[in-house]
Structure 1
C-alpha cells in the first residue's frame, strides 16, 4: 500500500507513484453543472490508467426528495469502485478540471464508504496543473483489473435539514455556494433563492489561489476563522451536497479538524432545503 500526501497530492508525487510498484487508482470526475458531460474530455485525454467516474449517475443516487445529488446506494457505489479497479488496500486519487470541489465529493464519498483518511487524496491543481506541467496523458482507454473493495457506509458525519437548522444555531453552518446565490440575487437551479438562516458563506473559490492550487493551510485557517470557526461544531452545505465537500477537505487541510473529527455535511443541501416551502429562507449578505 503506497503512502501519498493527503488530503491533497501534488502532480509530481502522483506521477512518481504511478511509476512505482504500488500504483494508486486515479479516478477522473470532470463535471460541469448543466453540461457538457465530462466523459468526452476524458476520452480525448487523461492521466494514464485513470478511470472516468460520472458524478450524476455513479457518485450520487437518483435526484428526488433528498436533493439533486443524494448519497448513492452503497452496493451501487461498491460496483462502481470495483469497476474502477479499487481494491481493499488501494490508495485512490481523484481529480477534476475545475477548482477541486467535484474531486472533493469523490474524496468525501470514499471516506464515507470506509476508506482511511491516509488512503484518499485529491490532485492539487487537477487536470489543468497536470497538463500545464507537461505530465503524461493518453487517449487509450483504461482497462483496470476489477477490484474487490467493500463499501462500509457511515465513515463521515452527515446531517439532514433539521440537523442543519439546529447546527446553524448552536455552531457554524457554512454555505459553499457563490456569493450571489448565497445572497439570493440569483438561483439558476433550485426552487427558491437565498440561504439557510444563520449560515455563513465561504464559496469554494475562496479555497483556491489564482494559480489553481489549493491555498496553504494557514491561509485556509484564516478564511475559516473569519467566519467564526473555532472549537465548536461545524457543518457545510452547498447546492446539492457536492461542492460543500471541499469545505470539509479545506477544514482538514487547514488543521481546524483532524481526520477523525471531520466537518459534517448536509448532503441534501439547498436542493433539499429550498424544496420545502415550510423552511425559512434568508436573503442578503448577513447570516
Structure 2
C-alpha cells in the first residue's frame, strides 16, 4: 500500500467513525417532558378588594409524559410577589396534552389574592418548585398585564361625602378626607358678613386618609359586607381646635371674627380590608375633584 493510499484510508475511516459517533450522540438523548404555560386566567372586571383566584392552562410540549405521582405545580406572582399556588395536579401529562389548573393555596393560607387598584403584572411559573426534569427549563414563565378598578365614586351631598362602592363579600372600612380653601371674615351683630371683610386663610384638609395613627375620628366609616354606598360626615373639629386662640383677622368693634366657608376642591376616599391575620390593607384610593362650599361646623 502506498503512503497516499494509506492516508486516504485513514481519513475515510476517521470520517466514518466521526459520523457514527455523532449519530450515537444524537440518538442517546432521552425523551423528556417540557412544560409550558399557554394561557393565564385573570377574572375580568376585577375591582379593588375583590378576592381573585388565578388560573392557567399548561401543556407538555416534550417527548415524554410527566412522571405520574409528581406534582406539576404552578406559582402565581403579582408584581414580583408570590401570592398563590397550585400544587395538587399529579397525573401524568402526555406529550401534547393540556390541562387547566387554578390556585388552591398560598403563603397566607388562602387560594385568592385581594385585588388592589391599578395596573399589575401576573407571572405564572409552571414547575415552580423544580419537581419535573424537563427538556427545557428556561420556558416555564408567562407574564400577563391586567388592571384592577378602584370601585369607588365620590360626591359631596350636603355636609357629607357619599361614596359609591363595589360590593365586597366581607366588611371593609373607608377613610375620607376633603381638601379645600378656608375663608374667614367679620360678622356683624346680626350674624351677617361685613362687606369686604372675607379673606383667604389657607388650604386645609379635614378628615382622614388612613386608619393608622389617626387622632381625629372624622372621615372614618365601616362598610358592611355587600354594601354599595357609605356616607361620611365632614368634621372641621381639627380646624376649629387649631384656632382656639382666635382667627388671624382684625374686626371692628361690635364685630366677631369667624370662619365663613370652606371651598372644597377635592375629595379622597381610601378603602381598607382586613386579612385573616388581622392586618389592615389599603385596596383602593380615589381622589375626585369637586367645587362646592361647605359650612365650617364641628
- TM-based fold match above 0.5: no
TM-score class, shorter-chain normalisation, is under 0.3
Q: Provide TM-score, normalisation by structure 2.
A: 0.24
Larger radius of gyration: 2
Between structures 1 and 2, the one with greater strand share: 2
Indicate the structure whose relative CO is greater, using CA pairs within 8 Å and at least 6 residues apart.
1
Q: Provide TM-score, normalisation by structure 1.
A: 0.25
